[in-house]
Chain A
Amino acid sequence: MNLHGIHLEGLRKRYGEGDTAVDALKGVDMEVSPGEVVGLIGPSGSGKSTLLKCLGAVIEPTGGRMRLGSEIIYDDRWHIRDLRALRRDQIGFVFQAPYLIPFLNVIDNVALLPMLAGRKNTAARDRAMELLEALDVAHRANAWPSQLSGGEQQRVAIARALVSHPPVILADEPTAPLDSERAMGVIRILNQMAEQYETAVIVVTHDEKIIPTFKRIYHIRDGRTHEEQGEGRLIA
């Protein structure tokens, strides 16, 4: 069970220096508890992607603090030496497009990360199958990504994000390419998975149709976040 959640305090990110410097994040505060799905919304250029990259340990913030549970991972500098391992073990990613590996079948796409981490192939595939069953795509386990529908691909991508039991999942516009029905299906799954695996899920989105599903929403504008209560209206 994950009891981490993610906590940001005054997170800042500046691109460039001197007169050309741009402050993309000007002090972001955010807290997402285990099992919670929050929305991160804002107009283009508001800093959503920059925040996601900082959360994903892909770029280094300029200042502030970031905690994973009680563990400080950033406090004006990285406190974790191996950011790659942090991404592999602690953070799951779901992208706008599924970006499945085209030359691996569905089950191996999901099981890839633990297999590369040295876990036995059979154990990794068992875990992948468990997730595929939970996401209702187990029947496509041996199919190639190109043979799946958009919704199926996104569910496989979610399974891949969950395979290492990460305490945090970062979803970058996961419903953008999907119609309303499939988009709601993905959000429903993210909520189920968050609840089932005690995972903190941050969903970056522009998608008006899924915004009402969040119980809490972070609006980001000009590099700052504002929290508000959402409707939490998840249609069954």
Chain B
Amino acid sequence: MISLAGRDIQHSWGKFVFTGIGLGLLIGVTLSMAGIYRGMVDDAKALLDNSGADMWVVQQSTLGPYAEPSSLKDDLYRSILTVPGVERAANVTYLTMQVRHGDRDVRAMVAGIVPDGIGSPGWPMTLIAGRQITRSHYEAVADAASGFKIGDQIKIRRNRYTVVGLTRRMVSSNGDPMIFIPLKDAQEAQFLKDNDEIIRQRQRTASNPALNPPGMPAVLQAVIDSQSTSPYVNAVLVRIKPGSRPDEIADTIRRWRRLQVYTRPQMEGILVGKLIATSARQIAMFLVILAVVSAAIVAFIIYTLTLGKIREIAVLKLIGTRNRTIAGMILQQAIGLGLIGFAVGRIAAGFWAPVFPKYVLLIPGDSVRGFFAVVIICSLASILAIRAALKVDPAEAIGG
């Protein structure tokens, strides 16, 4: 059986290909939007995977440490270590901030890790260059996405750090590169005030008779000392012993230590379900709009192409061509246009995905879903043209 649609496309390939390229760029944008969402989810999972933790202990009634602020005393990890089934527990702080390098700022998530605990939860698992942090202060391990290199001097708040190691795919749920620094430095960066504020606070403390009782200077000094230290962390990351049941350990910590504990699935639920939920809805909205725009473009193009063939369609109908053959021709052309567009879009998305500042993950499943969506959209978009073609009176082929 001859394929009328195939012959038409073959004959007017330039028109179809150029139209398909235009449509393909739109489909490429649609696939990229899906890729951006997948990238966000993947970033969130990478953050959890790279933390090396099985559970996260945070302040009660918070969704910390990634979704909400959480503050815990930094000695709590010791009591957590005594819970049966807990293999390791490590303090960690997270702070998203601008990190200065030379004359440029890089937005990054600064993680404070315990410097003597190589291999403990929170540490960067593998390095692609350099070494892990070995000193207690002013060394940093940065993700390669930050653009920093080994030996670079970076500034976090008041202090300068030397980049001693580089990691890959260590990013926050927002896709910001992570920078690991010693915990004490991170606590200082997060909780300590600047010098002017420290002076003002000391003055306020000294002028408060309750904190500076006459004749008892040691009380004032004790209060000021307590204000100068920051014994807080955002979370304690916990790794459990092989064979232990995380839910049971989490229950124990919740009940006896009066803390909030999230297991890995719960934390994934928070990141994917809450932290990036709005972005996901935003992207979903874009996808719907792009799908509607694509459908409208295909419908318009196919309708215009069909109107340009009205006389031929009238002749085809007059000489006895079945309506379904004519409808099939239009449907196949719409799908053909969609397939050209899909191929162009997939290739285009593959080319421009690495250029995006954040991770764009193009997964085969999305491509397959996109393919079927294109076929369905093109089929629906051809309805208008098919209706117009089927309305053509074969008598139009005869004059008079």
Contact = CB atoms under 8 A, between A and B. Distances in A.
Contacts of A96: 399
A56 B320 contact: no
Nearest to A146: B11
A15 interface: no
Interface stretch (A3-11, A99-107, A148-156, A182-190): A99-107
Contacts, number: 86
Size band of the interface chain B makes with A: 20 to 34
B8 A103 contact: yes
A41 to B, nearest CB: 14
Contact of B320 (A50, A84, A104): A84
B305 to A, nearest CB: 11
A79 interface: no
Contact of B2 (A48, A86, A93, A112): A112
B398 A52 contact: yes
B201 interface: no
A116 B312 contact: no
B400 A49 contact: yes
Interface of A is mostly: helix
B400 A52 contact: yes
Interface residues of A, number: 35
Interface of B is mostly: helix
A93 B7 contact: no
A121 B319 CA distance: 18
A108 interface: yes
Contact of A58 (B8, B311, B316, B318): B318
Given A85-B320, A102-B11, A104-B7, A116 B397 contact: no
Nearest to B11: A103
19 contacts: A48-B400, A49-B400, A59-B395, A87-B319, A87-B320, A88-B320, A99-B311, A99-B312, A99-B397, A101-B312, A101-B315, A101-B316, A108-B7, A113-B321, A116-B2, A116-B322, A117-B320, A160-B319, A172-B398
Interface of A: 48-50, 52-53, 56, 58-59, 84-89, 93, 95-96, 99, 101-104, 108, 111-113, 115-118, 121, 144, 160, 172-173
